[in-house]
């Protein structure tokens, strides 16, 4: 119980430190504000791992139920080759290929839907239906259609990412106000000129919102699809196999790699969004 008490004390201390940090008045000191914005989540993350370690060891939780972070870290260090091969198969092949195809095709179809009221009324309701389909129902079908390699997982990712991009882009293209559209007509702007200079910039926050949502959906879809047939490599394959062998530390190692990859992927898209949509009020207020 000593370790449990230490975990509670560590949590309370970290909580107090974070409370003091967020209460600091930075004024116009942007460097100090950025430092605090980085320090608070870092302290919070370290606190979670320390408390996890102390509680698991203090309560003698069986490692098959929940291994401590140090055990997971040791497994990651000892299995870098396997983890890298799984990362290549799942993320670099299936996720990226499916993400690009799904988001790209969703964007192109959204432009067509915007030009055609028939497609808008017929395709969007179908999109809501397809987006509600469970992965476990779609994945086996894609495996039968495209085989056991990464192509079938990329197909699942395409299905999962296509309609969020389609719906968000269509909504974004309708975000331009009537006054702005009238101004473009006053300047005799063509449909393409209005699209490139007004409607796409106005739709950019919606498009990036879909890209960020799809960055996590793509990874989830690829991993789940690998449960239904894959070569002897891949994050989903490794998780399902090692669970059967009761190697829970390896399962958590794969989960850690997947979480890190997904976070980096999401963060990269968020940074690109801040660079491209620097004019948007939400971005300007975040930098203020």
Rounded Cα distance, 102 and 138, in Å: 15
pLDDT at residue number 262: 92
Q: How many domains does the chain have?
A: 2
pLDDT at residue number 210: 92
Could you tell me the pTM of the whole model?
Answer: 0.82
Shared domain for 205 and 278, answered yes or no, is yes
pLDDT 10s per residue in the chain (288 long)? Answer: 788 888 889 899 999 988 888 888 877 777 888 888 888 889 998 999 999 999 998 888 888 888 899 999 999 999 899 999 999 999 999 999 999 999 999 999 888 888 877 777 767 677 667 667 777 778 888 888 888 888 889 999 998 898 889 888 988 888 777 777 777 777 777 777 777 777 788 888 899 999 999 999 899 989 988 888 777 888 988 998 888 888 888 999 999 999 999 999 999 999 998 888 776 666 655 554
Is residue 159 in a domain? yes
Residue 65, both tokens: 């139920």
For the chain, how big is the Rg over CA atoms in Å? 23
Residue where a domain terminates, one of 28, 61, 94: 61
Residue 223 belongs to domain with CATH number: 1.10.3720.10
**Those residues with Cβ within 8 angstroms of residue 250's Cβ, 6 or more apart along the chain or in another chain:** 75, 79, 238, 242
Is residue 183 in a domain? yes
Rounded Cα distance, 54 and 5, in Å: 9
Residue 71, both tokens: 């055990």
Handedness of CA 267, 268, 270, 274 (dihedral sign): positive
Shared domain for 142 and 221, answered yes or no, is yes
pLDDT at residue number 85: 92
pLDDT at residue number 288: 46
Shared domain for 127 and 265, answered yes or no, is yes
- Asked if 284 and 278 count as a contact pair (C-beta separation under 8 A), the reply is yes
Shared domain for 21 and 125, answered yes or no, is no
Is residue 66 in a domain? no
Shared domain for 155 and 20, answered yes or no, is no
Residue in the block written with tokens 């670099």: 92
pLDDT at residue number 95: 94
Burial of 224 per CB tally in 10 Å (0-12, 13-18, 19+) = buried
Find the domain containing 22 and state its range: 2-61
């Amino acid at each position: 119980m000593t370790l449990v008490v230490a975990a509670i004390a560590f949590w309370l201390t970290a909580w107090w430190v974070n409370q003091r940090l967020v209460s600091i008045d930075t004024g116009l000191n942007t460097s100090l504000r950025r430092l605090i914005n980085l320090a608070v989540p870092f302290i919070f993350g370290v606190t979670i791992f320390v408390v996890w370690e102390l509680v698991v060891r203090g309560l003698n939780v069986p490692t098959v139920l929940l291994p401590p972070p140090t055990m997971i870290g040791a497994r990651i260090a000892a299995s870098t080759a396997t983890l890298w091969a799984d990362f290549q198969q799942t993320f670099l092949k299936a996720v990226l290929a499916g993400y690009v195809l799904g988001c790209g095709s969703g964007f192109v179809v959204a432009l067509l839907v915007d030009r055609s009221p028939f497609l808008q009324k017929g395709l969007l309701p179908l999109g809501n239906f397809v987006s509600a389909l469970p992965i476990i129902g779609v994945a086996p079908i894609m495996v039968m259609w495209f085989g056991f390699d990464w192509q079938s997982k990329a197909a699942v990712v395409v299905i999962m990412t296509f309609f969020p991009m389609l719906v968000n882009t269509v909504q974004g293209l309708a975000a331009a106000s009537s006054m702005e559209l009238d101004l473009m007509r006053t300047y005799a702007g063509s449909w393409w000129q209005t699209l490139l200079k007004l409607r796409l910039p106005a739709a950019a926050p919606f498009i990036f919102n879909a890209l960020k949502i799809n960055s996590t959906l793509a990874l989830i879809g690829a991993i789940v699809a690998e449960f239904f047939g894959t070569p002897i490599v891949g994050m989903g394959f490794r998780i399902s196999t090692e669970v059967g062998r009761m190697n829970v530390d390896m399962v958590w190692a794969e989960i850690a790699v997947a979480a890190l990859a997904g976070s980096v992927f999401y963060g990269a898209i968020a940074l690109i969004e801040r660079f491209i949509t620097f004019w948007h009020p939400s971005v300007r207020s975040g930098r203020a």
